């Protein structure tokens, strides 16, 4: 018997699903009736200053989704590896019977001034956040076309809206993500596929715990400190706040919303 909800009968593919925003999105969409294809690299990056998700984290996502009554296929796969990603997605689609929603969420973030950016940091960030999102959307597109349409949602950032200091490679990746999302929104519209970006301000996750040097960097260049302020009196938003936006864009309520950027930033980009 199908579960009732705004995504009843749909299948959602989510990258970076082992924890943080990805897990929250999986749970929110599952609670609204979707079955889930969840992938995560579950591998460490030498360039990041925070630990990455583990296979145990991904297994917890599985258990929490199943507790909601949803089906889930979870695989360890790296968005940087197009062949590995496609194999994992194809397995999930075969088991769950189709694909309707894509959430390109996997990403990393490394804090540092412009002259601290190493070739490794630049490469890892662009390869994961931009090339990985491209792999996610292009490997998923044929399944959505076969289904007769669907929705793609990319995790952007306020760093993809303004030139946030000390996040050079991350800013580049998120601005690039906006560009390819708009391009695919145009190219895939003929197939009734919508493509949108959600731009969060800082979100309470393991990733943001790796940004402890921000105070030190602002002290070195205090004129840019206001860039990080939210207009609303909160320092960070919660993962659920972003999942609610993802749900809207995934649902038929947003059936004519495409090529847009939904900013969930507590007013950060107003400054």
Please state at what angle helix 132-147 crosses helix 168-188, rounded to 10 degrees.
Answer: 20
Annotation marks residue 175 as catalytic: no
Interacting residues of 36 by C-beta distance below 8 A, sequence separation 6+: 11, 12, 13, 14, 17, 26, 29, 30, 65, 70, 71, 72, 73
Distance CA 25, CA 30 (A): 8
User: Of 50, 170, 175, 256, which is the active-site residue?
Assistant: 170
Query: Per the structure block, which two tokens stand in for 189?
Result: 């519209």
Kindly report the backbone phi and psi dihedral angles of residue 15, in degrees, each rounded to the nearest multiple of 5, phi listed first.
-100, 155
- Residues 6 or more apart from 219 whose CB is under 8 A from it? none
Which token pair is 78? 């790296």
Name the token pair of 256: 């004519």
HSE (CB half, 13 Å, CA atoms) of 161?
22
Q: Where are the alpha helices (H) located in the chain, listed in sequence order?
A: 20-31, 55-67, 82-96, 119-125, 132-147, 168-188, 214-220, 239-250
Residue 150: phi and psi, rounded to 5, are 165, -170
Q: Are 161 and 261 in contact (CB under 8 A)?
A: yes
Residues identified as active-site: 170
């Amino acid at each position: 018997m199908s579960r009732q909800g705004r995504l009843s009968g749909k299948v959602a593919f989510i990258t970076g699903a082992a924890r943080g925003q990805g897990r929250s999105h999986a749970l929110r969409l599952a609670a609204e009736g979707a079955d889930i294809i969840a992938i995560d690299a579950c591998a460490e990056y030498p360039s990041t200053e925070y630990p990455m998700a583990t296979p145990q984290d991904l297994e917890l996502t599985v258990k929490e989704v199943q507790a909601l009554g949803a089906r889930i296929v979870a695989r360890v796969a790296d968005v940087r590896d197009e062949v590995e990603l496609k194999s994992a997605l194809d397995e999930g689609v075969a088991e769950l019977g189709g694909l309707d929603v894509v959430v390109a969420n996997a990403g990393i973030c490394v804090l540092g001034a412009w002259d601290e950016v190493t070739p490794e940091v630049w490469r890892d960030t662009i390869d994961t956040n931009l090339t990985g999102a491209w792999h996610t959307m292009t490997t998923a597109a044929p399944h959505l076309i076969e289904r007769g349409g669907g929705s793609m949602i990319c995790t952007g950032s306020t760093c993809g809206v303004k030139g946030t200091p000390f996040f050079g490679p991350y800013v580049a990746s998120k601005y690039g993500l906006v560009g390819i999302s708009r391009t695919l929104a145009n190219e895939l519209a003929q197939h009734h596929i919508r493509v949108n970006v959600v731009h969060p301000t800082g979100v309470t996750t393991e990733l943001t715990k790796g940004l402890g040097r921000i105070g030190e960097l602002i002290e070195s260049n205090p004129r840019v400190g206001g860039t990080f302020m939210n207009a609303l009196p909160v320092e960070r938003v919660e993962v659920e706040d972003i999942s609610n936006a993802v749900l809207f864009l995934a649902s038929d309520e947003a059936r004519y919303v495409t090529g847009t950027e939904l900013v969930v930033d507590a007013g950060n980009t107003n400054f």
